Amino acid sequence: MCGIVGIVGKSPVNQTIYDALTVLQHRGQDAAGIVTWGDEGLKIRKSNGLVRDVFHQRHMMNLTGNVGMGHIRYPTAGTAKSSEAQPFYVNSPYGICLAHNGNLTNHDELAELLTRDDRRHLSTGSDSEVLLNVFAHELQSLDNVRPTAEQVFDAIEAVHNRCSGGYAVVALIIGHGIVAFRDPNGIRPIIIGERETSSGTEYMVASESVALATLGFKKARDLRPGEAVFITNDGQLHTSQYSGKTSYSPCIFEFVYFARPDSIIDNLSVYKARLRMGEQLAGQIVREWPDHDIDVVIPIPDTSRTAAVQVAYHLGVKYREGFIKNRYIGRTFIMPGQAERTQSVRRKLNAIDLEFRGKNVLLVDDSIVRGTTSRQIIKMAREAGARRVYFASAAPPVRYPNVYGIDMPAASELIANGRTVAQIEELIGADRLIYQDLHGLIRSVRHDNSEISQFDTSCFSGEYVTGEVTPAYLQALEKARSDEAKTRQNAKWTMPDMAVGDEPQDADRAVNA
């Protein structure tokens, strides 16, 4: 999962992009990048690390211009190298920078066609670079000195026809404007907003509405599945809808875990969805376990708090904060390797013994993916003196890989894959394990939005909305993108990767185009 932002402003946009990326930091902690364009040409800074560590004052002063884009990343495709930090850049046609959130399911096929037929060179294993080169090739074939909105949209139409998977894209066509578009199934989110200034209207696109709201932009709307927008440097907004088949199928895991609770995605409140998840989960506990002996409900911070409050309320038991979180440790689920995830749990959380000692405790989490965090936390609760430790997940069992941009590529790494609830319960060490059912989760999220055709629930149901995901594809994906495979890929780099704040020659430069 990644975060993207693009702005066409009436004044320098460097600080606005920086602030937006910090708001979206929860979507990726591996790398960050900003590109701007103005009278001094193209300026770019990107490297591994958090936003606050990648950009220092000297970088911000260099990022001049009223048009720009930014990206924060964690690696699902490719590796955690600074050379794969986004945005990516190609110099023809016009000069294009591109960043995206999602994953292409036909990456390998496209990469082969690009190198063999389109005669384009790929420097990384990232599907963002593939998307960039597909878009550049289609735009170059139009052969025009200055691209019109119609020609840009024709190129994006061709991208949709060639690319499969889930993707939300922002691109800067140097000297012309910002482009943003969403995959025909609307799997990955992207939102457009505007802000009135004394000099005119400024436009911003971002992964989540919270980035717009924090910076004073009024949300206009979510991009529809297959929709594209082109905002010219002088602030003219053009829109186009994909002529092919579309389906409104947003990823439901955004509401379970990834998105900030104060975001509105596809006109659905993440916060209210999580409240309803708690209501549904409490109802399920009452149905399955009417004579429960739960003394206290304790959330596993932070994303499960909203649901846990509702669980406690509807069960009529106490709600307590039993874990204190070190906010300087990254989100464990999106860390790039199992070893990092395991080591970070105890550094991240500390139990308050008084809330556990001698009690039957129900721990509530948003989901259970690999089981690493759950197992460690249950152990911590027992060490703090809990008499019994029960565990509830606001989401169903994650049994299948996610292929649309969430780091769940390997079925073998998912604790629920091929196991019963009783077996998972034993593996994580819980006295009882309760999962939300899928219908309850969908009811919690969908609430009053009839435009959504369905949700992408593939990691729970094994049903993939794009249709082309086969067992052979999943097997190849696991081989290429499991934690073990990523470890091998990173080990190939014999030179040490650049530490936070280093100055890579190709990542902090001005390009006069």
Catalytic residue IDs: 2
Count the helix, strand and coil residues of the chain and give each as a percent rounded to the nearest 5: 35, 25, 40
Short-list 225, 215, 242, CA closest to 156: 242
- Tokens 């708090």 correspond to what residue? 305
- Tokens 């040490």 correspond to what residue? 496
55, with CB counted inside 10 A (0-12, 13-18, 19+), is buried
SS (H, E, C) 383-428: HCCCCEEEEEECCCCCCCCECCCCCECCHHHCCCCCCCHHHHHHHH
Contact by Cβ (8 Å): 398, 385: no
- Give 345's Cβ-side CA count (13 Å radius): 18
Query: CA-CA distance, 377 to 389, in Å (whole number)?
Result: 10
Short-list 70, 77, 167, CA closest to 124: 77
Query: CA-CA distance, 509 to 249, in Å (whole number)?
Result: 39
Which residues lie below 8 Å from residue 308, measured CB to CB, with a gap of 6+?
278, 297, 298, 299, 319, 364
The phi, psi pair for 162, rounded to 5°, reads -95, -30
Contact by Cβ (8 Å): 380, 264: no
Query: CA-CA distance, 2 to 71, in Å (whole number)?
Result: 7
Short-list 19, 35, 121, CA closest to 85: 35
- Give 238's Cβ-side CA count (13 Å radius): 18
| Cβ count near 337 (within 10 Å) | 14
Contact by Cβ (8 Å): 222, 190: yes
Contact by Cβ (8 Å): 123, 507: no
Contact by Cβ (8 Å): 104, 134: no
Extract the runs of DSSP E, i.e. beta strands, from 292-451.
296-299, 318-319, 323-325, 349-351, 360-365, 388-393, 432-435
Alpha helix ranges (H) inside 103-170:
107-116, 127-140, 149-162
